[in-house]
Amino acid sequence: MTTFLYSHPAHHDHVTPPGHPEQVARLEAIEAALSTQAFDALVRRDAPEATPDRVELCHPRRHYDRIVAAEPQEGWGQLDGDTFMAPGSLEAAMRGIGGNLAAIDAVMAGEASNAFVACRPPGHHAETETPMGFCLFSTVGIAARYAAEHHGLKRIAVLDFDVHHGNGTQDVLWNEDRVLFVSSHQSPLYPGSGSRNEQGAHGQILNKPLEGGSGSVKMREVWDRAIDTALTHFEPELILVSAGFDAHRDDPLAGLNWHTDDFAWLAHRICDLADQTCAGRVVSSLEGGYDLDALGESVGAYVEVMMERGA
């Protein structure tokens, strides 16, 4: 088996205003990084467009309708202080969801060991009825519910190592006992949630706040313990990853001071868990990462490990 890469040209059509950190150039940096000979073995597939009923796995129809109505015919529509839409943003977001669902289907069918979904806009800040933090829909939250409903899985782990807390994923999965949600994130920092006492309706949410500047050693300690907890007490049948790369020391939006090889280490540890509990099944979805060079390097390091472990 191998690693699948899902993306689509429509992700370039989500154009944000000049100077906005969540820009088309992010995806271009990733595409450049994954275009070298080292990634020739990646199986590249177009992300299909999800249907509105998939959005309703986590959001009421009125939320979807609000997003549809907010998409402008030209220029930008603004949903909050930093969340924008352009013509084409809806399709981009729906293909992000569709890419994740197709990736789940592929790894569950044994066509691929694991998959990476290079999509934008990101999703982990979108709450049940609130788009925010650059995010329109809870992409990974929807993917988790899809895995439970469509594939009948009873134990799904969602691991989020983005530097910002995945408040939206936490919100949409607060009452979902089939999903273990683990988030490491800098605190204090936007969006201000993610304290240790936020544990979900069934104690299935593990928040791991990290102090600014805490660096690689602390991160590895925290994730070693978190992954051991997931293995011992949950034994997931599928692992979904909100893969944000903005904890990198060069990222302009935060300050956890991680290094590129930390993302390779995380990929190895996630694969360790997957190999022991779910036949290596991992689907990772792009979240943050706003220094273009660091983003390309970090995604490359992460995907290279996924390819090595999935071979």
> Which one of the listed residues 8, 59, 63, 125 is annotated catalytic?
125
CA distance 180 to 204: 5
The alpha-helical segments, DSSP class H, found in the chain are 24-33, 52-55, 61-70, 89-108, 139-151, 167-172, 215-233, 260-277, 292-310
Asked about 20 being catalytic, the answer comes back as no
205-210 and 77-78 beta bridge pairing: unpaired
Query: Given phi > 0 = left and psi -120 to 50 = alpha, else beta, which region is 235?
Result: left
The answer for residues whose C-beta is within 8 angstroms of residue 222's C-beta and 6 or more apart is 184, 208, 210
β-bridge pairing 238-243 and 282-286:
parallel
- The two tokens of residue 5 are 């890469």
User: How far apart are the two ends of the chain, measured CA to CA in Å?
Assistant: 6
Give me the torsion for CA of 211, 304, 271, 257, rounded to 10°.
-10
| Catalytic positions | 125
